[in-house]
Structure 1
């Protein structure tokens, strides 16, 4: 009897707990449904943080959405650009206040935002920027403002660009792990961290070239905005002259040294707000919640397909992964929709699986036969990212896009000595054919097997180059000379014929409309963003885990991601950048 009482009490408690959870869920959903729309009151100043990161496509946080948090949706990059454009014609927005620290975006993404701010200024509205400690990319964005203010005790990093590669060869030797590497292209540096202890001369040459191009574009933009010359700016960095906030003022990188309250006073004066009244500051994410951007109402459609992240085979729930099956579906849907008159394919990828790249290339080629396909390149459209771009009718890149890297590689690992000498593990087995265990990590490859794999790499490299020859209408010898795995800046890529125009998403969209011969159209975006509740149930655990790892590892998170990516390389020939460059 006592057992049944305990059982019934536990059952009742479980039912009550489940019921309460259900009621809470209903309350959250009800709150989300009944939430009043966000409105912007007059005489507002739009606040943008330079550290805000924008993916290519909007990111919806299902938990924050249900709780009514204004950060429930972070707009995509193009959406952010269009919001700035909208603010220029919004009577309630009087100007933009840039809060400057770091930069959440890459070079080309920052260029898109900076150009949007420069266009905003043409409306006659003001842009003020203020920061305590400004990173180089943060300052580049800030330099587009009418006035730049710096904290009197703060500073600006104006030291020039550098990049550093982490080499793992010595670590692998200590662990007695032998990488077996196959690649095509003397500049294809993706495998260098595993086979060298420092940069090869070829890699040093190419990195020096594109880094110089990126830095030149950086100095040129600042020089134009601050009415200085690039040689002078270069001298500031070479001599490390900008060490204190007073130096930044002395050398005209900023307009005044002010504290936050003094900047607020400047904003009040600019907007006519009395000193004892509150300034109407509107965060960028709140403005995103308040504004409904029109994608048009025409029956004619232009499909914008966002492709960001590593290229892989199969499917993926991650927005920052280009999974071949998902993109076949999106491209085919746009191709078969007769109301879609053109496709704008936005690529921000350092590459990945060569086979997945070929599959996506094929689907885009089929689409190109029936309607125009225009590519807009983001921070990266290199290796596999260039593979899936090269067939387009027209290709747009920013001057600081990294592209090209036409080359492939494959990696396998011989871990026989690691298992035997470090762990005491040995292997033995039986096979029915000489190469049945080709690819096993328990023994080294023999010479015949190495030839098989190198032949496969060579074949895929030849196919890659042939796609570029056909897509870019270049001579095979020319493509071979600019391929070899070499990374190019957007500026150099234009000269070489790898891209057609320097420009961003707006310019690429206008081009797609011209090629389709439509003046009135509406935008439709792919891949379709999953339903909020679906994402809440399916992805919240993974998102929380990734966020926790990122927070704990801090600046080491990028290295963790690089090491993690190596796990997926063996057994699949890659068309990929060495790693994502950081400057």
Structure 2
């Protein structure tokens, strides 16, 4: 008994000590957080400095308030990242900043889509128009990294490094066989020959229609990719195609031979070249500031007429949504606010979404239509504005996309899992129930297949939603419904293809959409304001910190493969009829 009490006392004492230590750590953590939140001073920029740009971090559509950014979690490193909006605005600010003499571009793995990459590249081209230089260097160049680096005045790589230039590819993960082994049947009701979002669950390879559309839009993206590299390096497109098709560049020597780079050198040699440009003593460090830290963005004008930029990025979901997901209720409420705000004379809806809930998309589209009756509303498309992303765009005054944007995908589907084989044959689980009518358990019992009557009902609803979708596109784009249907059927188009088919009005970035909105509203002097208004960093700390840490850890463990897990989770959690692009295309 004595030893028992000794053991209990030791356990209690140990628990108290652990909690005390955790409490002290938490106090230190919160203190550091508040300290970081309070430090908003402009970062010191030396005179005759270079702006260091790597882009080797997550690039969301918009920078989120992050009180953790200058902190590190053990094993996970720093948590800094910068949104596309701030990357572009900071490069623009550096162009006008007399202290910044040039850019040192050091990309390797660039984690964003091709349309966003084009916007960054355009910002770098504009930076060069000031007469300032861009020098690029990397130990290795992925295709996205080289695409960005090809804008540089001087382009170098490690003598033992590698450079990828072999053409673009896109793959789809198919899970039917795995689901069959688990005893899971995915029941599909859809409209659209090309609506292939459901294919990974019911096939083991692409359908001929899906292969046709993927080949077409990947070829369109490749043409835009080659066009920009050709312009940057002064190499003909035919030569670039030959180099890629025959995999002629594998190392630094090959890259020099085919004029893809200006020379081989190690990092210290590049730094010496920068010192020479800046007229800095060889014994001193290169005066530099990182794009992640540089914050000379200029002050936002708060008086007078405004053009509002409203961000809509992520999957479209019912309700309020979360960070990185477009909630139908939340975004429609934001549109109502902007419509009623007399200071806001025009609206630009910035869409970067593969779609999602058809119902939420329709709710948002209604608010776009109502806003259009009161003031100009333009759409600027990012990497994706497809299916539900196009649904919420179609009724705007004008739509602008990049050549590389994936859009269209006008089609809908319903996906209903039948887990009977898993429950009965694999797990030995059986269910029974009573009901008041033959449809009482429709879409709530996943332990049986749909009946023939239920399938008819589902198909009728999917057809109805598709007819609504195509009708609104026809209204917004001033087309016949039959014409919309002919380019609809779930088919995905690039921005340049969409322009040919009348789905967008012009090729251009966010700034072009802002200028078009201001012109339609007949504004000369105006400020640009960004919405939704972002939360206080303290509120963000407690509302999204758990989710962010989880995503950071998944990224660290799974890397580029996390997207497949995330896509599967999103589709399986989705309810109701969906207007969603087949998959996210990762260009390699």
1:366 is paired with a residue whose SS is helix
Q: Trace 1:284-303 onto structure 2 (pairs within 5 A).
A: 284-288=291-295, 291-303=296-308
Residues 71 and 285 of structure 1 are in contact (CA less than 8 Å); yes or no, is this contact kept in structure 2? no
Shift of 1:133: 0.9
Alignment of 1:495 with 2:500, yes or no, is yes
Shift of 1:562: 1.9
* In 1, Cα distance between equivalents of 2:222 and 2:518: 33
Residues 50 and 141 of structure 1 are in contact (CA less than 8 Å); yes or no, is this contact kept in structure 2? no
* In 1, Cα distance between equivalents of 2:29 and 2:495: 52
- What is the aligned partner in structure 1 of residue 233 from structure 2? 226
- What is the aligned partner in structure 1 of residue 314 from structure 2? 309
Alignment of 1:464 with 2:469, yes or no, is yes
Alpha-carbon displacement from aligned partner over 1:524-583 (angstroms, at most 9, x marks no partner): 2112211111111222222112211221122321111122122223x4110001111112
Alpha-carbon displacement from aligned partner over 1:432-487 (angstroms, at most 9, x marks no partner): 11110111101111111100000000000000000100000012221111001000
Shift of 1:53: 3.1
Alignment of 1:281 with 2:297, yes or no, is no
Shift of 1:315: 1.3
- What is the aligned partner in structure 1 of residue 375 from structure 2? 371
Judged with a 3 Å threshold, the aligned counterparts in structure 2 of structure 1 residues 259 and 94 are, in CA distance, closer, same or farther, namely same
Residue 270 of structure 1: which of 269, 277, 285 is its match?
277
Q: Trace 1:363-402 onto structure 2 (pairs within 5 A).
A: 363-402=367-406
Residues 406 and 486 of structure 1 are in contact (CA less than 8 Å); yes or no, is this contact kept in structure 2? yes
Aligned pairs, how many? 575
* In 2, Cα distance between equivalents of 1:17 and 1:259: 45
Shift of 1:15: 9.4
- What is the aligned partner in structure 2 of residue 142 from structure 1? 149
Residues 32 and 66 of structure 1 are in contact (CA less than 8 Å); yes or no, is this contact kept in structure 2? no
Q: Trace 1:540-555 onto structure 2 (pairs within 5 A).
A: 540-555=545-560
Judged with a 3 Å threshold, the aligned counterparts in structure 2 of structure 1 residues 16 and 486 are, in CA distance, closer, same or farther, namely closer
Residues 499 and 506 of structure 2 are in contact (CA less than 8 Å); yes or no, is this contact kept in structure 1? yes
Residues 350 and 577 of structure 1 are in contact (CA less than 8 Å); yes or no, is this contact kept in structure 2? yes
1:100 is paired with a residue whose SS is coil
Residues 378 and 517 of structure 2 are in contact (CA less than 8 Å); yes or no, is this contact kept in structure 1? yes
- What is the aligned partner in structure 1 of residue 353 from structure 2? 349
Residues 190 and 414 of structure 2 are in contact (CA less than 8 Å); yes or no, is this contact kept in structure 1? yes
Alignment of 1:335 with 2:339, yes or no, is yes
1:488 is paired with a residue whose SS is strand
Judged with a 3 Å threshold, the aligned counterparts in structure 2 of structure 1 residues 30 and 488 are, in CA distance, closer, same or farther, namely closer
- What is the aligned partner in structure 2 of residue 582 from structure 1? 586
Residues 33 and 67 of structure 2 are in contact (CA less than 8 Å); yes or no, is this contact kept in structure 1? no
* In 1, Cα distance between equivalents of 2:298 and 2:83: 12
Q: TM-score, normalised by structure 1?
A: 0.94
Judged with a 3 Å threshold, the aligned counterparts in structure 2 of structure 1 residues 421 and 117 are, in CA distance, closer, same or farther, namely same
Alpha carbon RMSD of aligned pairs, Å?
2.4
Alignment of 1:453 with 2:468, yes or no, is no
Judged with a 3 Å threshold, the aligned counterparts in structure 2 of structure 1 residues 71 and 91 are, in CA distance, closer, same or farther, namely farther
- What is the aligned partner in structure 2 of residue 160 from structure 1? 167
Residues 410 and 572 of structure 1 are in contact (CA less than 8 Å); yes or no, is this contact kept in structure 2? yes
1:536 is paired with a residue whose SS is helix
- What is the aligned partner in structure 1 of residue 202 from structure 2? 195
- What is the aligned partner in structure 1 of residue 570 from structure 2? 565
Greater mean alpha carbon deviation, residues 465-474 or residues 81-90:
81-90
* In 2, Cα distance between equivalents of 1:446 and 1:269: 76
Alignment of 1:479 with 2:484, yes or no, is yes
Shift of 1:22: 5.4
Residue 532 of structure 2: which of 527, 535, 539 is its match?
527
Residues 317 and 327 of structure 2 are in contact (CA less than 8 Å); yes or no, is this contact kept in structure 1? yes
Residues 42 and 294 of structure 2 are in contact (CA less than 8 Å); yes or no, is this contact kept in structure 1? no
Residues 132 and 154 of structure 1 are in contact (CA less than 8 Å); yes or no, is this contact kept in structure 2? yes
Residues 402 and 489 of structure 1 are in contact (CA less than 8 Å); yes or no, is this contact kept in structure 2? yes
Residue 539 of structure 1: which of 544, 562, 573 is its match?
544
Shift of 1:506: 1.1
Residues 303 and 340 of structure 1 are in contact (CA less than 8 Å); yes or no, is this contact kept in structure 2? yes
* In 1, Cα distance between equivalents of 2:23 and 2:552: 28
* In 1, Cα distance between equivalents of 2:413 and 2:529: 36
Judged with a 3 Å threshold, the aligned counterparts in structure 2 of structure 1 residues 20 and 127 are, in CA distance, closer, same or farther, namely closer
- What is the aligned partner in structure 1 of residue 245 from structure 2? 238
Residues 407 and 495 of structure 2 are in contact (CA less than 8 Å); yes or no, is this contact kept in structure 1? yes
Greater mean alpha carbon deviation, residues 147-156 or residues 536-545:
536-545
* In 2, Cα distance between equivalents of 1:248 and 1:321: 41
Residues 47 and 99 of structure 2 are in contact (CA less than 8 Å); yes or no, is this contact kept in structure 1? yes
- What is the aligned partner in structure 2 of residue 325 from structure 1? 329
- What is the aligned partner in structure 2 of residue 429 from structure 1? 433
Alpha-carbon displacement from aligned partner over 1:172-215 (angstroms, at most 9, x marks no partner): 21122111101111011111111211111111111110000100
Q: Which runs of 5+ in 2 are unaligned?
A: none
Judged with a 3 Å threshold, the aligned counterparts in structure 2 of structure 1 residues 14 and 203 are, in CA distance, closer, same or farther, namely closer
Residue 33 of structure 1: which of 38, 45, 51 is its match?
38
Judged with a 3 Å threshold, the aligned counterparts in structure 2 of structure 1 residues 71 and 299 are, in CA distance, closer, same or farther, namely farther
* In 1, Cα distance between equivalents of 2:185 and 2:525: 59
Judged with a 3 Å threshold, the aligned counterparts in structure 2 of structure 1 residues 34 and 387 are, in CA distance, closer, same or farther, namely closer
Alpha-carbon displacement from aligned partner over 1:403-423 (angstroms, at most 9, x marks no partner): 000000001011112101101
Judged with a 3 Å threshold, the aligned counterparts in structure 2 of structure 1 residues 215 and 35 are, in CA distance, closer, same or farther, namely closer
Judged with a 3 Å threshold, the aligned counterparts in structure 2 of structure 1 residues 73 and 531 are, in CA distance, closer, same or farther, namely farther
- What is the aligned partner in structure 1 of residue 211 from structure 2? 204
Alignment of 1:98 with 2:105, yes or no, is yes
- What is the aligned partner in structure 2 of residue 43 from structure 1? 48
Residues 408 and 491 of structure 2 are in contact (CA less than 8 Å); yes or no, is this contact kept in structure 1? yes
* In 1, Cα distance between equivalents of 2:536 and 2:79: 13
Shift of 1:500: 0.3
* In 2, Cα distance between equivalents of 1:35 and 1:111: 30
Shift of 1:30: 4.9
1:174 is paired with a residue whose SS is helix
* In 2, Cα distance between equivalents of 1:9 and 1:443: 52
1:285 is paired with a residue whose SS is coil
Greater mean alpha carbon deviation, residues 207-216 or residues 56-65:
56-65
Judged with a 3 Å threshold, the aligned counterparts in structure 2 of structure 1 residues 160 and 317 are, in CA distance, closer, same or farther, namely same
